């Protein structure tokens, strides 16, 4: 008799076998890998005991025409100033982005390549690439090199092959950026158990380590991204109530402000790429030094021979970065409004990311919430620790009684285009994921056999003001009268925040499906702008939506009237026909304008002009149906 292996859902079929799983924080400045050992989440260090891996990759070629070589981490960091063009830092900022999305980032010595092969060719579809000494590399390939090192570190420390990994991403990463991260992990040989939002990972680490319950804010300022999440932590449940942030705001921007201040203070001429990278490195060092000191000396001899010797005070640093801090506070206040909360309702503020060590950040956050932020876990490590706890759970290493539910959200609304260029939101922003929603639509014209479905993302009422994600065609719809077909459009967002859309005509069963993978992601100005515009243009959007809906209804009325006239014009006298034609012409004349009152009046006038005509057509139809039948044959 064959024996079956039986296990509880989510648990290993062999409880004595601990599956090796890790959590990875793929950061803009530094990356980490962590795992759960003896019930405790710990960060895994390299052979020299260093937990952090600088997210830097350097490419080169062996002398004498040899093959390419790649250095990652501290070895690559040493080459920032020596070979800045081939030493890639902050590659996370390029993940899932096009040339247009990164045009605002300054002091980049890289040779960017558009997907069509053009260098710096402007706004090109697809993810940007970088030309290096080892050939053209995509951000996915570069990120994969960092993940490979972490993969090897984990297997060496754990003494075996990994069963899977949870990779963290900023909460504001869109579909393209999440897909790019997942592709990089696969390229590094990792089995991705889940993509996990960074603030949520931090909440897991704090919630499970400290037994926290209540409402919490997770303020996550990393090297290149900022996220704010409002969470409700209760026994076994982690529920994200709202999220916000900026996917292109982080410690790098603070470094840039110091860099510009040094140039202005020292009166420097335009710098070479290597001098600029050297000065930017000194700017970062000064920023970090000011965490514990009131003044930071900046001295450096540039390759041009110029000597820089300035001192940066805490007061000056706070002043030149004040607008950056304010941007994070504005996003935080917006997230609180979305959650329907006041700052006083929040029990604790979890600080995540090395950039939160800056004194002005600590002060600003503490002042906003009226309490000292939580710093009892290392802000550099907390995301990786939370990811490790989630990975351990997903791998089936659940301990008895360890059962909890993670409820994350999407940052922007998802919907599709309807007649008149209107946005119909199918899944509103801050909806808990995974989620599936469906909505029924119909055809606009008689005999319509195909439908174009346009998937969009954003908060505005008109498609022109939202971000286009994908298009799919549904063909083979049986010819029917306008409004008779039933097309069910289904949206599904998985636990990784990735979207798929399908459309099905209910009577025939024909179906179309698309995995939504935009060419590149939303820029920081687009994401923040979408939310801001949703608030500032709410009244105007409502009017424009109502106008478009009225125009669609007017178009439908015109087509129905013309169709009726083509069939039964003989039911009207000459004067009645002239009156109807005049009403049709008036409605046609105001259809393209923006006068809603005139449009409503013209529709009402046409309705009055055709009321008697409609009644005669109805009577004629009834007579045709009853003609030649006995009273006893008529069913009431």
pLDDT tens digits for 456-494?
Answer: 877 777 777 776 777 777 888 888 877 778 888 888 887
Residues 504 and 467 reside in one and the same domain: yes
Q: Is 6 part of any domain?
A: no
Split into its structural domains, the chain has a count of 4
Give pLDDT, residue 57: 94
Closest by CA position to 241, among listed 338, 162, 170, 314? 338
State whether 470 and 530 are in the same domain. Answer: yes
More confident residue, 522 or 163: 163
Same domain flag for 305 and 352? no
307, 323, 339 - which closes a domain: 323
pLDDT in tens, 240-288: 888 888 877 888 899 999 999 999 988 887 888 888 888 988 999 999 9
**479 plus 387 within the same structural domain:** no
Same domain, 376 and 482: no
Please report the pLDDT score of residue 399 as a whole number. Answer: 59
User: Is 3 domain-assigned?
Assistant: no
Q: In the predicted model, what is the mean pLDDT of residues 109-134?
A: 66
- On whether residue 12 sits in a domain, the answer given is no
For 72, 116, 235, 252, 286, the CA distances from 281, given in Å and listed in that order, are 17, 33, 45, 10, 9
Would strands 87-89 and 129-132 be described as parallel, antiparallel, or unpaired?
Answer: unpaired
**pLDDT for res 508:** 77
Classify the C-alpha dihedral 262-265-266-270 as positive or negative: positive
117 and 135 share one domain: yes
Q: Does residue 520 surpass a pLDDT of 90?
A: no
Alpha carbon distance 241, 407 (integer Å): 9
Q: Cα Rg for the chain, rounded, in angstroms?
A: 30
Is the Cα dihedral 203, 209, 210, 213 positive or negative?
A: positive
The whole-angstrom separation of Cα 502 and Cα 489 is 6
- Domain identity same for 141 and 259: no
**DSSP class of 271:** P
Lowest mean pLDDT segment, chosen from 108-117, 152-161, 430-439 = 108-117
Contact 599, 547 (CB under 8 A): yes
Q: Is 401 exposed, middle or buried (0-12, 13-18, 19+ CB in 10 A)?
A: exposed
Residue-level pLDDT at 239 = 81
Pairing of β 422-427 and β 414-418: antiparallel
| Distances from the Cα of 499 to the Cα of 125, 469, 502, 516, angstroms | 20, 10, 10, 6
What percentage of the chain exceeds 90 in pLDDT? 25
Quick one: average pLDDT of 605-619? 83
Residue 373 per-residue DSSP state:
P
Tell whether 361 is covered by a domain. Answer: yes
Cα–Cα distance for residue pair 87/80, rounded to 1 Å:
6
- The pLDDT score that the predictor gives to residue 634 is 52
Q: How far is CA 201 from CA 115, 381, 515, 570, in A?
A: 34, 11, 26, 73
Q: Are 564 and 619 found together in one domain?
A: yes
Query: Which residues have C-beta within 8 Å of that of residue 413, sequence separation ≥ 6?
Result: 425, 427, 428, 429, 457, 458, 459
In whole angstroms, what is the distance from residue 137 CA to residue 148 CA? Answer: 16
The pLDDT, as a whole number, for residue 630 is 56
Give the CATH number of the domain where residue 201 resides: 3.30.420.40
Phi, then psi, of 203 in degrees rounded to 5: -65, -40
Q: Domain limits at 559?
A: 539-626
Q: Cα–Cα distance between 152 and 161 in angstroms, integer?
A: 9
* 601 pLDDT more than 70: yes
Same domain, 200 and 94: yes
**Residue 439, strand partner residues:** 489
pLDDT tens for 40-70 read 899 999 989 999 999 999 998 765 555 577 8
Backbone angles phi, psi at 34, to 5 degrees: -135, 160
In a domain, 631, yes or no: no
From the CB of residue 579, how many other CB atoms can be counted at a distance below 10 Å? 18
pLDDT band at 13 (very low <50, low <70, confident <90, very high): very low
How far does CA 500 lie from the centroid of its chain? 14
Return the pLDDT at 367: 95
Q: What kind and span of H or E run contains 70?
A: strand 68-72
At how many degrees (to 10) do helices 596-609 and 538-568 cross? 20
pLDDT score for 571 = 83
Q: What is the pLDDT of residue 574?
A: 83
Q: Which is nearest to 180 in space by CA: 143, 152, 147?
A: 143
What values do phi and psi take at 576, rounded to 5? Answer: -65, -40
Question: Is the pLDDT assigned to residue 536 strictly greater than 80?
Answer: no
| Residue that is last in its domain, among 505, 536, 567 | 536
Number of C-beta neighbours around residue 11 at 10 A: 15
- Output the pLDDT for position 396: 80
Asked whether residue 614 falls in the same domain as residue 519, the answer is no
Residue 232 bridge partners (DSSP): 215, 239
Q: What is the DSSP letter of 119?
A: B
What local confidence, expressed as pLDDT, does residue 26 receive? 94
What are the contacts of 578-582 at 24+ separation with CB within 8 A?
A: 579/609, 580/606, 580/609, 580/610, 580/613, 582/609
Residue 525 lies in a domain: yes
pLDDT at 1 over 50: no
Q: Same domain for 138 and 96?
A: yes
**Residues 267 and 357 both lie in one domain:** no
Residue 114 falls inside a structural domain: yes
More confident residue, 517 or 450: 450
Q: Is residue 556 part of a domain?
A: yes
Q: Is the pLDDT of residue 117 over 60?
A: no
**pLDDT tens-digit series, residues 375-418:** 888 888 999 999 999 999 888 876 555 555 666 777 778 888 87
Among candidates 116, 166, 154, 150, which has minimal Cα distance to 136?
116
Among residues 360, 390, 407, which one ends one of the domains?
407
Judge if the upstream peptide bond of residue 434 is cis by omega within 30 degrees of 0.
Answer: yes
Q: What does the pLDDT read at residue 4?
A: 44
Instruction: Return the active site residues.
Output: 25, 92, 198, 220
CATH number, domain containing residue 285: 3.90.640.10
Give the ranges where 120-194 is alpha helix by DSSP (H): 139-158, 175-187
Band the pLDDT of 5: cuts 50, 70, 90: very low
């Amino acid at each position: 008799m064959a024996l079956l292996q039986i296990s509880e859902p989510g648990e290993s079929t062999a409880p004595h076998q601990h599956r090796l799983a890790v959590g990875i924080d793929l950061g803009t400045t530094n990356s980490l890998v962590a795992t759960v050992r003896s019930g405790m989440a710990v960060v895994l260090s390299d052979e020299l005991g260093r937990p952090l891996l600088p997210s830097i990759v350097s490419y080169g070629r062996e002398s004498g025409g040899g093959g390419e070589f790649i250095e990652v981490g501290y070895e690559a960091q040493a080459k920032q100033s020596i070979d800045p063009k081939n030493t890639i830092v902050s590659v996370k900022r390029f993940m899932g982005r096009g040339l247009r999305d990164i045009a605002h980032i300054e002091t980049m010595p890289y040779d960017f390549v558009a997907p069509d092969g053009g260098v710096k060719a402007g706004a090109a579809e697809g993810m940007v690439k970088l030309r290096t000494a080892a050939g053209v590399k995509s951000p996915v390939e570069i990120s994969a090199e960092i993940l490979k090192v972490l993969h090897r570190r984990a297997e060496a420390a754990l003494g075996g092959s990994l069963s899977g990994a949870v990779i963290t991403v900023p909460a504001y990463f869109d579909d393209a950026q999440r897909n790019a991260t997942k592709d990089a992990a696969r390229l590094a040989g990792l089995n991705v158990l889940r993509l996990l939002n960074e603030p949520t990972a931090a909440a897991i680490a704090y919630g499970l380590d400290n037994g926290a319950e209540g409402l919490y804010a997770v303020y996550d300022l990393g090297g290149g991204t900022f996220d704010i999440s409002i969470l409700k932590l209760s026994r076994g449940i982690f529920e994200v109530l709202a999220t916000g942030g900026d996917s292109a705001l982080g410690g790098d921007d603070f470094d840039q402000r110091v860099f510009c201040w040094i140039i202005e203070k020292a009166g420097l001429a335009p710098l070479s790429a290597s001098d600029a990278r050297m000065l930017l490195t000194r700017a970062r060092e000064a920023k970090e030094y000011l965490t514990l000191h009131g003044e930071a000396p900046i001295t450096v001899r540039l390759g041009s021979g110029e000597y820089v010797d300035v001192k940066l005070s805490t007061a000056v640093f706070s002043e030149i970065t004040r607008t950056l801090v304010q941007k994070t506070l504005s996003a935080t206040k917006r997230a609180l409004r979305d959650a329907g909360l006041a700052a006083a309702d929040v029990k604790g503020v979890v600080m995540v990311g090395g950039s939160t060590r800056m004194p002005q950040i600590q002060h600003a956050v503490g002042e906003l919430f009226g309490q000292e932020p939580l710093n009892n876990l290392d802000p550099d490590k907390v995301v990786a620790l939370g990811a490790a706890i989630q990975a351990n759970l997903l791998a089936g290493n659940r301990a008895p009684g360890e059962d909890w539910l993670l409820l994350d959200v999407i940052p922007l609304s998802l919907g599709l285009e309807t007649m008149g260029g209107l946005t119909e939101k199918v899944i509103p922003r801050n909806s808990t994921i995974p989620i599936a929603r469906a909505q029924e639509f119909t055809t606009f014209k008689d005999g319509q056999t195909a439908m174009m479905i346009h998937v969009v993302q954003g908060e505005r009422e008109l498609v022109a003001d939202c971000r286009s994600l994908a298009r799919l065609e549904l063909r083979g719809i049986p010819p029917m009268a306008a409004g008779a077909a039933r097309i069910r459009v289904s949206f599904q967002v998985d636990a990784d925040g990735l979207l798929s859309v399908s459309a099905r005509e209910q009577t025939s069963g024909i179906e179309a499906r698309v995995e939504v993978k935009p060419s590149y992601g939303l820029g920081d100005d687009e994401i923040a702008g979408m939310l801001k515009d949703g608030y500032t243009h709410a009244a105007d959007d409502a009017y424009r939506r109502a106008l478009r809906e009225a125009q669609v209804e007017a178009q439908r009325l015109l087509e129905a009237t013309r169709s009726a006239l083509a069939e039964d014009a003989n039911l009207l006298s000459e004067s009645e026909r002239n009156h109807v034609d005049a009403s049709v012409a008036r409605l046609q004349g105001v259809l393209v304008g923006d006068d809603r009152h005139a449009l409503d009046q013209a529709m009402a006038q046409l309705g009055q002009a055709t009321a008697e005509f409609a009644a005669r057509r109805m009577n004629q139809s009834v007579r045709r149906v009853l003609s030649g039948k006995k009273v006893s044959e008529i069913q009431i």
